[in-house]
A and B are shown apart, each in its own frame.
Chain A
C-alpha cells in the first residue's frame, strides 16, 4: 500500500490545485491512467477546492490499496448542516470571492459522486466533514 497526504488551507487560492497535481503525478508514475485517472483528477480537484472554499482547512489523502484507490478529504469544520442539500446539483453557499473565481455552480459534490465508484460523506456541524471516495483500479464506473 502507498499513501500520501497533503494539508490544504482555507482560502489559499494561490496553492489551490497543488495537492491534486501531486496526487495525479504520483498515479501517473504508478502507471494508472485512462478513465480511472481522468475520474480521480476531476474528483480530487473538486474536493480540494471545497476544502479551500468552504472548510476551515483540512487534509487530502490518497492511498492505493489492492484493487482500489482511495481519496479521502477530512476537515476541521464548519461541517455541512444539510448533506442532502449539499449533494444537490446547483446548491451552493460559495461566497463572492469564490464566485468571482468561477466556483459556486454547486456541481462539485455531484461531480465527485458521479466519478467515484464508491462515495461516502459524513459531516457533523462544528466538527467537520469527511468525504471518502473509492475508485476501482482497472475498470469500474463508465468503462
Chain B
C-alpha cells in the first residue's frame, strides 16, 4: 500500500506544529522521518495513521491491504504501551480478540509473533518482569500479529539503553529482511535512519516542513559491508549538515514560544 500525505498542516491551539506537508510512503519501502526535537514528527505520524485529525490537508491510502491484514495501519510506540495486567501473550492477544478468528488461527498468530520476536519462553510473563528491550519486543510482536499493511514506529528504540537498542535494531532489520514491509520510522538518531530507511525525510524545526527527502540507494542488507561505509558516512554527514542548524535553534526555543 502507498500512502500520500497531501498539504497537511496542524495547529495545537495557537501553536503551529506542521506546515503544508506533502509526503509519499511507497509500498514495500521504509521511510525514515528525522528532524529536531519538537518539530512535529510524532504529530505527523499520528496524522498519517489516522490517530490525529489534521487542521488542514488529508492523508490518502492507495491500494488494498493484504487479505490477512487485521489492522492495516499499526503503531509501535516509544513507551511500548503494554497493558501491565496482561501477560506477554495476553498483550499480543489484545490486538486479535475483537476480530473474528477461530481459536486455532488466533493461537497460531500469537505463537508466530512470539517466536519471531524471541519471546516464546516469556509468553506468561508480566510486563513488569521484563527488561525494556523485551517490552518493546512485545510491542513489536503485537504489531506483527495483525499483519499490518503499513507500520508506524515512533522512536521505538529511544527508551532503551545503547546496547539493547543495537540488539533490537538488528532484530528489526532481520524481520524486515525476511518480509517486505512498508513502514514509517520516526527517529532522532541519524544512524538508525541511515541503517533502516529506503528514503529519509528531513523536517525543519517547528513548524515542521519537509526540508528534503533523501534516498538511500544501498540495499539494506548490504549496509553493514565495509565497501559501503564511506558512502553511508557521507550520507550521515549530509543529514547532519541539514539538521544541525535547525537542531541548535530548536534547542534554544522556549517550549511555549
- The answer to whether A and B belong to the same complex is no
- Identify the B interface with A (CB < 8 A): none
Residue numbers of A with Cβ under 8 A of B are: none
